[in-house]
Amino acid sequence: MCIEPLVVLLLSGATGSATTDDFERAVAPLLESRCLACHSAATAKGGLSLESRAEALRGGKSGEAAFVAGDPDASALIAAIEPRVTADGARKARMPKSGAPLAAGEVALLRDWIAAGAPWPDERRLVDRSADAAFAARCDWWSLKPIAAVEAPSSASLPALSAAQLALGIEPPRNELDLFVRAKLVEAGLEPSPPADPRTLIRRVTWDLSGLPPAPEEVAAFVADAALDHDGAWSRLVDRLLESPRYGERFARHWLDLVHFGETHGFDKDKPRRHAWPYRDWVIESLNADLPYADFVARQLAADVVAPEDPAAVRALGFLAAGPWDYVGHVELREGTVDKAITRLLDRDDVVTNVMSTFASTTVHCARCHDHKFDAIGQRDYYALQAVFAGVERADREYDTDPAVAARRTQLLAERAAFEPEAAHGRSRESLGWHGEIAAAADTTQWVAVDLGSAQTLDEVALVPAHESYGGWPGPGFGFPARFVVEASERGDFSDARRLHDATAADVANPGDTPLLLDARGAPLRAVRVTAMKLWQRTGDFAFALGELACFADGRNVAAGAAVIASSSIEAPPRWAAANLTDGSTWHGAIDLAVGDAVRDAASGDATWRDRITARARLDAALAELPPLQRVYAATARFKPEGAFTPSATPREIHVLARGDVKAPLALAEPGALRCVAPLAAAFDLPADAPESARRAALAAWLIDPRQPLTWRSIVNRVWQWHFGRGLVDTPNDFGHMGAAPSHPELLDWLTRWFLQQGGSLKALHRLIVTSATYRQQSQGDAKARAADGTNRLLARMGRTRLDAEQLRDGLLSMAGRLELVGPDGARGGPSQQHFVFKDDHSPIYDYANFAVDDPAARRRAIDRFTVRSVPDPWLDSLDCPDASLLAPKRNVTITALQALALLNNPFVIRQCEHLAARLELERPGDVAAQIERLFELALGRRPAANESAALADHAATHGLAAACRVVVNLDEFLFVD
């Protein structure tokens, strides 16, 4: 807003003792950050610009100057910014109109400057830096500050446990974590709860760390062990659970929620991803192996760079491809359209959102259309992150599992690279060869011939297969006929035809890229003809194609440039044309026309064409002997094209977009990260010719830097949430200004530093938490704590949690004795199990209703099921299993009538209860009371009371034992963990 009224005064020059340096050091930054947002030449509210001395003296619309050198009291600038008593008796300043008023020291600074003569060089123009000032202010936020070196409260600083507390069995602090929690409780006038009983504790920690119920034998053994050595028994139990393969399966479920992992594309054509599962298995294996968290993060962004010694680590790149993907936009939309550009923008947005929400708990995606409205994240930061991923798409990526095999394959591929046209000749082969018309039947006869113009003494004839690497075709051997004959003619009209090769007796195997070399025996020949009697099958039709037909006489390809005639020809240059058959260009390189006594490659000049063919065939054979490559759906720069979905040779250009509009590109974005994390450089110092993978590696290094406050606080908060139901920060994906503040900020920083000191060991962090007295508390709490802290933010008790959908499913299978933890081959993991009937279609159909609940696929853990985005599993969905298209840092927990119906009447529940009843009858034959007792031990970890046993026995007598099982699995005591 303008400063009105302004005092009209002419200034004759600067006076006083202030210097230009004083102006540059203090006054100019203040004016630029607090005044020029409204009073620059571009905005000039009230007609006033403060960009230069002359404009300030010219004043606003009234023509009055902004200040009077030497007289601050006569200066309108001071009058506008100094607080004055208003009509309502309050003291307020008129300016600035928005934001906080200037501090008293800032007003005094401007007063002193004017009193000293207001020195301001005539040529000096100010720049609006209000945005920079606001950005700096937003950077002053708890999550962006360095991780503090916090000391845990001393035991001596806490009041000793009273006799009453000791009588209740309240434990003293067991580790530093407890000291922080107890200190907060003392501040609030609350006290901790006693520890839960051994049966409750083993049930709690087993469900928590494995996602499965403890077996009755495990409960009995722990109770007996705890009676002799309580602390030792608890430590041994925790260690056993952390070392179990079930631990990785359980916490991988949390992680896959977080990264919105799914095995279909989503959107309207929700096609399956048959090779997404290796990423899931990698997460499980990494958690079980306790891969340091820095490596866990870095490999999911750049495994191909940071773990080259482990070829199977590329499975981790499935993280970047975990989210939904628009098949129509990528595959079917034409290149160069606005919609195609929007598709790619939104696809990269999903990747950036996943990376920064998962690892850094930031809402970077809010800056796609404008600077973040609340946090210190600018549009340029957002598009710098998009530029990191401008060189990759989502597709199947091949990998080896054995490092020795991978090394051998790398060596062979490097040797073969010399024979690839792009590598050997520095240019791609756009000329693919000759292609006959598409035929509806395989037994269609087609032919193509080369006329040399005159008879030549031929030594050899070569038929070079076409290599169609576009449009999703398999590349080598495209169109090579299954049955054919090669004839030669001295006259040229084939009235004297003689056969050089007869392949009509049986189908010929596809030769790949290996040419067929035929001995011409030095005969004088003018024309060569190839006649196909059985064509190559494309998909539902048939074709005949050749890449090159070469005729060698005295070491020269005399067919180069020769006339080509054919029964038909698809003329679609530069790729397909009759002339391409004799243009001297092959997949193996160009054939030199004037070398003399040797047919040499035009690029290398040192290997004969035959030598290259032989070497290529040898390498191809060696590669074929290696074990087949595995595939993972992941981020990759090289993939088999499909429709309009093709790889880019170099990373695509990324521009900052005005209001996120692809039609309004602004400055080119360079790969980088967030400027608000002060200790770390946001710009990546990468050479211009760096591979795209270097961008991802640079972001990984930025995220895992030990000085990075966001990444390390984020994972510590998540692990806390996974154990207590809510994090120390209750908005796990938003550590910004609109997120929640930490309930225990000192504890969060102490835990973060401790985690770093442990080398980022997640198992160590789990162990610290679950061995604390805080975790071992009862869940009931006392009336005072419930009244003062109803949501239990201060942790005066343990939170009561409901089993999630997967725990319920796996728990039912486990109790029924039907759970299979490994596949038929004895290994865990592998391709996901379909719990639906699948029908491939234009838009695939996923039918859960007709899937047999006793199908062997239904016996594996829920972590191994095939996750569909558009059609979620109805039973799991009713139990709050999250939508795989959305990031789910924290699951919803609802209690609905639909859940009760699902737990009573769903065919899966009914069938598992029947299996459970059969197990009880097998283990406790003929004794209903013993069966009910075993049922309680399996489901609840305890024996039934007399009245419970009697009631269930009566129910079983009337409705059957399976019905009694359904009653127990619907009890709150089963569904909730204390």
- Banded pLDDT at 419 (limits 50, 70, 90): low
Q: For residue 423, what pLDDT is reported?
A: 39
Mean pLDDT of the chain: 91
Q: What is the Cα 497 distance to its own chain's centre? A: 63
Tens-digit pLDDT profile for residues 147-196 = 999 999 999 999 999 898 999 889 999 999 999 999 999 999 999 999 99
* 534 contacts 507 by C-beta, under 8 angstroms: yes
Tens-digit pLDDT profile for residues 658-698 = 999 999 999 999 999 999 998 899 999 899 889 999 999 99
Q: Quick check: 552 pLDDT over 70?
A: yes
Q: Quick check: 574 pLDDT over 90?
A: no
* 937 contacts 216 by C-beta, under 8 angstroms: yes
- Banded pLDDT at 137 (limits 50, 70, 90): confident
Q: Quick check: 771 pLDDT over 60?
A: yes
d(CA 323, CA 342): 17
Average pLDDT over residues 629-649: 93
Q: For residue 593, what pLDDT is reported?
A: 37
Q: What is the Cα 801 distance to its own chain's centre? A: 29
Q: For residue 607, what pLDDT is reported?
A: 53
pTM score = 0.82
- Banded pLDDT at 591 (limits 50, 70, 90): low
Q: For residue 234, what pLDDT is reported?
A: 97
- Banded pLDDT at 610 (limits 50, 70, 90): low
CA distances from residue 686 to 177, 672, 683, 698, 701 in whole angstroms, order as listed: 42, 10, 9, 8, 13
Burial (Cβ within 10 Å: 0-12, 13-18, ≥19) of residue 83: middle
Q: Which tokens go with 496? A: 């004297």
DSSP class per residue in 813-828: HHHTT--B-S-TTS-S
Q: For residue 134, what pLDDT is reported?
A: 79
CA distances from residue 665 to 219, 343, 657, 673 in whole angstroms, order as listed: 64, 16, 5, 20
d(CA 786, CA 729): 21
Q: For residue 613, what pLDDT is reported?
A: 67
Q: For residue 186, what pLDDT is reported?
A: 95
Average pLDDT over residues 627-637: 97
User: Residue 136: how many CB atoms within 10 A of its CB?
Assistant: 14
Tens-digit pLDDT profile for residues 287-309 = 999 999 999 999 999 999 999 99
Average pLDDT over residues 40-65: 87
Average pLDDT over residues 901-913: 96
Torsion, Cα of 699, 705, 707, 711 (10° steps): 70
- Banded pLDDT at 381 (limits 50, 70, 90): very high
Tens-digit pLDDT profile for residues 193-238 = 999 999 999 999 999 999 999 999 999 999 999 999 989 999 999 9
Q: Which tokens go with 134? A: 């606001």
d(CA 527, CA 549): 11
- Banded pLDDT at 429 (limits 50, 70, 90): low
Average pLDDT over residues 471-482: 78
Percent of the chain clearing pLDDT 90 (strictly above)? 74
Q: For residue 473, what pLDDT is reported?
A: 60
Q: Quick check: 611 pLDDT over 80?
A: no
Q: For residue 136, what pLDDT is reported?
A: 83
d(CA 49, CA 58): 9
Minimum mean pLDDT among 105-109, 512-516, 671-675, 922-926: which range? 512-516
User: Residue 563: how many CB atoms within 10 A of its CB?
Assistant: 14
Identify the residue with better confidence: 943 or 603: 943
Minimum mean pLDDT among 477-486, 590-599, 778-787: which range? 590-599
CB burial of 343-365 (b: ≥16 within 10 Å; e: otherwise) equals bbbbbbbbbbbbbbbbbbbbbbb
d(CA 120, CA 485): 93
Q: For residue 575, what pLDDT is reported?
A: 87
Q: Which of 483, 477, 530 is nearest to 506 (CA)?
A: 483
- Banded pLDDT at 616 (limits 50, 70, 90): confident
Q: For residue 420, what pLDDT is reported?
A: 59
- Banded pLDDT at 37 (limits 50, 70, 90): confident
d(CA 258, CA 302): 19
Q: Quick check: 318 pLDDT over 60?
A: yes
Q: For residue 127, what pLDDT is reported?
A: 85
Q: Quick check: 129 pLDDT over 50?
A: yes
d(CA 865, CA 835): 7
Minimum mean pLDDT among 81-90, 451-460, 844-853: which range? 81-90
Q: What is the SS3 assignment for 436-494?
A: CCCECCCCCCEEEEEEEEEEEEEEEEEEECEEECCCCCCEEEECCCCEEEEEEECCCCC
Tens-digit pLDDT profile for residues 61-84 = 877 888 999 999 988 898 889 888
d(CA 841, CA 849): 18
Average pLDDT over residues 343-357: 98
Q: Quick check: 16 pLDDT over 90?
A: no
| Strand 665-668 to 655-657 pairing | antiparallel
- Banded pLDDT at 590 (limits 50, 70, 90): low
Percent of the chain clearing pLDDT 70 (strictly above)? 94
Q: Quick check: 275 pLDDT over 50?
A: yes
* 269 contacts 327 by C-beta, under 8 angstroms: yes
Check the CA dihedral 63-69-74-75 and report its sign. positive
Q: For residue 598, what pLDDT is reported?
A: 36
Q: For residue 474, what pLDDT is reported?
A: 62
- Banded pLDDT at 142 (limits 50, 70, 90): very high
Identify the residue with better confidence: 556 or 180: 180
d(CA 472, CA 491): 42
Q: Quick check: 111 pLDDT over 80?
A: yes
Q: Quick check: 584 pLDDT over 90?
A: no
Average pLDDT over residues 768-776: 98
d(CA 593, CA 561): 10
Average pLDDT over residues 315-327: 97
Q: For residue 24, what pLDDT is reported?
A: 87
Strand runs labelled E in 737-872: 801-802, 837-839, 845-847
- Banded pLDDT at 485 (limits 50, 70, 90): very high
Average pLDDT over residues 821-838: 92
Strand runs labelled E in 600-736: 630-636, 655-657, 665-668
Average pLDDT over residues 868-873: 96
Average pLDDT over residues 540-544: 92
Q: Quick check: 563 pLDDT over 60?
A: yes
d(CA 544, CA 468): 12
- Side-chain-facing half-sphere of 937: CA atoms under 13 Å: 16
Paired with 608 in beta bridges are 600
Q: Quick check: 9 pLDDT over 50?
A: no
Q: Quick check: 597 pLDDT over 90?
A: no
d(CA 101, CA 213): 61
Q: Quick check: 651 pLDDT over 60?
A: yes
